[in-house]
Structure 1
């Protein structure tokens, strides 16, 4: 089993047209952290260390999702430290998509993310302390319903109406249902 796991700047992946904070997609980030910590229970030895780096002002994977998911899965929060004080602080951040081709080269001083200051990057540190008792099934945040998506007026729906809007809503709903069911997408 592993004695240490690091997850640097987790993100569930962009959904074109939506900002990470939009409730139509934000649930994905919360689920990512819940499933991450639940999976770690299989691979991390008792007393093992888990460190998750994220920006304290992130609106996707929020610090509350990280700390809450850890607690649900018997990982005790032991420390939060500035990323700049961590021994892996020279880690270069990236978007993980096409934006890296034009955003990444300016990564001097770890400032490749224009909306997030490096001074707000934190490392959340946890220790795995299993009780030995079985945990309840991992709760997940459910995606928006098809009805909710068809009523959405922002993001990719901003300029859509009628059949085009319904088709986009069905496309996203199908994708989200697959994601929350654990079916690989992409």
Structure 2
């Protein structure tokens, strides 16, 4: 017989708050949980919604002995297992199937985090390349910019130096600078 307590809460119940000490983790049995950063502040942000039975939440602080990094709120009536750090080894023995689900869930989260890191690295690389290109563009002189615009608009060959083009242009059209 299991010694892991099953907790039932109603919609809107705050299960734990960001910054509180973490002494337990939870395994969802029914309902939907929302995890939020900066709950009830102007910068509130919903991290995710958990509705898959067997999904754990609140485990990060428990394993790392850190305060809660988010606020968990019941978005519907919910039931979940509440597992303390002291009872976790016993839970593993009593619930091997759920333990495997926890391991699979952690693995999936790790995989998703790696994918997000990879996507972020690609965005950073693209942004750095764009910044480098922009900074090189700003190093151009006024004459280089006029030449590039003229080349584009008038299809001037690239081997014509800007000084020559500007000199010829100013003879026919007056000074450009």
TM-score when normalising by structure 2: 0.20
Greater helix proportion: 2
Mark the structure with the bigger radius of gyration: 2
More RCO (CA 8 Å, sep 6+): 1
